[in-house]
Structure formats: C-alpha cells, structure tokens
Chains A and B, each alone.
Chain A
Amino acid sequence: MTNTRRIFLKASLAASTLAVAAGANLLTPRSVLAAWPAKAFNAKKMDEAMTGIIGGTQTTPSPDITVEAPDIAENGAVVSVTIKTSLPKVESISVFVPVNAYPLASSYNLSSSTDGFITGRIKMAKTSPVIAVVKSNGKLYSARKSVKVTLGGCGG
C-alpha cells in the first residue's frame, strides 16, 4: 500500500462525507422488487428502519447471538461482520449501523434448513456499534458489537 494511495483515499472519502450531508433528501425513484421493503432501507432513523423491516423496535438482548466484527476497522467501506445465533426457529437476521445515512444495512430471511450463521461485508460511516437483530419464533432478540472506524466509508 503506497503512501499516495492513502492520500487519494482520504481525499475521496472527505468529498463523499460532504455528499452525505448535502444529499440527505435526494432519493431518486427506483424500480424495486415487490418484496424489497424500500421504506425500511430508505429510512434515516434507526426506529423507522427497525419498524419497517422487522415490525418493532423492542428487542431483548440475548447471549445466544454473537456479532463478530473487527475491534478496529481501518477502512469503513469494507467491514466484515459475522452473525451467529443458536436461537431456535430463526426467521430473519437484520444488521443495523445506527450512524449510517441509512441505518439498515442488510436483512437475511432464513429458511428452516438454514443455519443461524451469516457473514457479509458492510459499510460504516464512523465508529459505531453494529447491531444484529434476530427474529426467532416471532420474538426479537439483539446483540451488538462496537467497531472503531478509523476511515469512514459510508459516503463511498
């Protein structure tokens, strides 16, 4: 990794942070699939996003969910997150980053034969907890892990 590349990355990310601030209400219409909950993904607030995707904001912290993510993420554009849960009858796993422009990062609907194990990569604007909400047997359980981001990656 050369020094010039670092500088370039920093510059481009600084520009994109401005874009986040300026572009808050610029959402272009998009063709979406019927199943895709546009409202939840376009929500700017954590509560709206949670209601939109899982139908509630009340979650019970559970020791049966593990969020695996780095303690310090050097690059917020790519943060690898693994969610594991031993809860029975897992219907969905949703991943939230409260500080992002759109707090809802991703949501996974699991079939009955799928394990409570998901790995994905998400963007993080800045240091924040990553919150995983697992819907199990109709109830909502959550777990979180703080990730320190040294270089934000959500504008880009």
Chain B
Amino acid sequence: MAKKKMKIRAWIDGSKASVKAILFHPMETGLRKDKATGKKIPPLYITEVTCEHNGKNVLTCLWGPGVSKNPFLSFRFNNAKKGDKLKISWADNTGASDNAETTLK
C-alpha cells in the first residue's frame, strides 16, 4: 500500500470547526544540492491546497518552496456541524496530486 500522504483532524469547537492537517511531502526548493553527487535536487513542492466543506470551498492555500517539509496547516471556519464532510486536496509542481476526506467530529 502506498504511503499515507495526509493526516487530517477536524472537529467542532463551539460554533466553529477547527481543522489540523499534515501533508507528507518533501517540499524540495530546487536550490539544494545532493551532497554525494553535487547535483541539484530538482524542485518538488506543493503549489495548491484546497479545502472543501460539504463541497464548498473554504480555503485555498497557494504555497511556494518556502513552506516547510511535511507541511502543517490549521484553520477554522463557521457554519459547520457534526458529521459534515471536509475534503482536502493538493497538487504539486510536477502535477502529482492527492486528496483525503474526513468527517467533522
């Protein structure tokens, strides 16, 4: 089985929904050199992350190579209730992408 690429926790906190997510991604800037070969490590980083609450976009993250390895993201939104769906999708600069869905607790 492929390595898990994302962890999401989403829950209702009072009147708001809180979300915490970690995406597993190397986030290479393209500026780093491989010490053994002296060659540059090609850039590989997430460019766009979209978060959808019941199919409606709540947050779009535009990321550059300045975001850390295995990026962490946390945000809050309103008008949510227990059992709602939250979907997070990402795409990187090579065109690779993935998504994961969770239910608000």
Q: Chain B residue with minimal CB distance to A124?
A: B66
User: Which residues 31-82 in B have Cβ within 8 Å of A in the complex?
Assistant: 31-33, 35, 40, 42-43, 47-48, 53, 56-69, 71-79
Q: What is the distance, in angstroms, from A112's C-beta to the closest C-beta of chain B?
A: 9
Bin chain A's interface residue count: 35 or more
Contact of A23 among B30, B35, B57, B74 (CB under 8 A): B30
Contact of A15 among B30, B35, B58 (CB under 8 A): B35
Task: Please determine whether A111 and B67 come into contact, CB atoms closer than 8 angstroms.
Answer: no
Please report the C-alpha to C-alpha distance between residue A156 and residue B41 in the assembled complex, in whole angstroms: 10
Bin chain B's interface residue count: 35 or more
The answer to whether the Cβ of A123 comes within 8 Å of any Cβ in the partner chain is: yes
For B74, the chain A residues whose CB sits under 8 A away are 82, 117-120
Task: Please determine whether A115 and B16 come into contact, CB atoms closer than 8 angstroms.
Answer: yes
Q: What is the distance, in angstroms, from A22's C-beta to the closest C-beta of chain B?
A: 8
The answer to whether the Cβ of B104 comes within 8 Å of any Cβ in the partner chain is: no
Task: Please determine whether B43 and A19 come into contact, CB atoms closer than 8 angstroms.
Answer: no
User: Which residues 11-38 in B have Cβ within 8 Å of A in the complex?
Assistant: 16, 29-33, 35
Task: Please determine whether B47 and A33 come into contact, CB atoms closer than 8 angstroms.
Answer: yes
The answer to whether the Cβ of A27 comes within 8 Å of any Cβ in the partner chain is: yes
The answer to whether the Cβ of B99 comes within 8 Å of any Cβ in the partner chain is: no
Task: Please determine whether A122 and B67 come into contact, CB atoms closer than 8 angstroms.
Answer: yes
User: Which residues 28-44 in A have Cβ within 8 Å of B in the complex?
Assistant: 28, 30-33, 35-37, 41
Interface code A70-109, partner B: CB below 8 Å = 1, 0 otherwise?
Answer: 0000000111101000000000000001001111111111
Task: Please determine whether A113 and B64 come into contact, CB atoms closer than 8 angstroms.
Answer: no
Contact of B59 among A15, A109, A121 (CB under 8 A): A109
Q: What is the distance, in angstroms, from B56's C-beta to the closest C-beta of chain A?
A: 7
Using known A-B contacts A101-B29, A123-B66, A155-B31, determine if residue A111 contacts B57 with beta carbons closer than 8 Å. Answer: yes
Task: Please determine whether A108 and B67 come into contact, CB atoms closer than 8 angstroms.
Answer: no
